[in-house]
Copies of this chain bind each other. A is one copy, B any other.
Amino acid sequence: MDTMKAIWWTGKDRIELVDVPIPEVTPGTVKVKLTYAAMCATDMHMVSMGAMNAVMREGGQCLGHEGSGEIVELGEGTQNSGFQIGDKVVMFPGSPCGICDNCKNGYRQYCRNAARMNTFCQYTVTKPSGIYKIPNDADMQRYALVEPTVCTIRAMDLSPISHGQSVLVSGIGGIGSILLNMVILSGASKITVSDPIAQKRDNALSMGAEYAIDPMNEDIVERGMEITNGRGYDHVFEVSGVPAAAPSCIDLLARCGTVTYFAVYPPTYEIPINLHSLYMKEGRIHTVFTSPDIMQRAIELMPRLQTDKIIGKVFDLKDGMEAIEAFHSSIYPKILLKCN
């Protein structure tokens, strides 16, 4: 049996680079040879704190849910699925079944029988309902970012920024820099970022942010109020996932403003919210999951993604453990794995 390299969740807080059998195509599925995978905090949070209600499967499991690849085999019954061998593609993490209640009611992101796939490996097998074609001449590094872009577009859909509204983005790492890109692709004014790492603040400013705050050395609320002439921000997007950064977002809010807690916070964390204060501002709190309905829109938007600023480093899959270490160092915005 042929094997492939894969980054595997093998136990509590344990990730390993392993050789595993290449998954085989079954009826109704297709096989994708991965080109690039992108690393996401959620992959790590599943392992370290059970985020997404994740419980390791018996025998462990492959990590990774962002990536680009190429169709290499069509399972029985998928010949009319619109795909051909050689098609360049990207995938939604769960291919919807189409017949559970959530699928039939327009909430395919909550499909009860989604076919999962993984990307920190060389091949993955999944159903066509979650696979999307990209251009044949696509830059495969760029398109490896389609899935995280979907999540940030979901944030834009749920908390739309009206032209001229002020926006602050807290936390501009991998996903934060993609969300910042979406904010720059909006009519936002006074685009402000907050991050303790100077290099990330500089990167954000070079992307188009107008103000940068160092929350370790500046009073973020005071500085934010100064920037907004005392009004506060119409939108605050908290992307760091750091509990310490969460409460001040509400203080930074303008009347009728929205805080979007975009990140996946530790499952045990509870933020204390003063409802009277929130009421006096008529404030709103949003969270953001995802939706496969956005995949095509994200694909269309790829040409406008500043990948030179967002992709921080590319590792070979065989150097995966090094990539994970680099991820935890928090220096780079987005880290990619070359899956060959």
Contact = CB atoms under 8 A, between A and B. Distances in A.
A98 interface: yes
Q: How large is the interface on A (under 10, 10 to 19, 20 to 34, 35 or more residues)?
A: 35 or more
Q: How many copies does the complex hold?
A: 4
A153 B163 contact: yes
Contacts of A282: 158, 287-289
Contacts of A269: 274-276
Interface string A269-300: 11111111111111111111101111111111
A279 B301 CA distance: 25
Interface stretch (A32-40, A63-71, A186-194): A186-194
A262 B182 CA distance: 26
Given A279-B287, A280-B53, A163 B187 contact: no
Interface of A: 51-53, 81-82, 96, 98-108, 110, 128-130, 132, 153, 156-158, 160, 162-166, 182, 185-190, 210, 246, 255-256, 261, 264-289, 291-301, 303-304
Given A270-B275, A272-B272, 9 more contacts: A104-B292, A105-B293, A165-B297, A165-B300, A189-B301, A265-B279, A269-B274, A285-B285, A285-B286
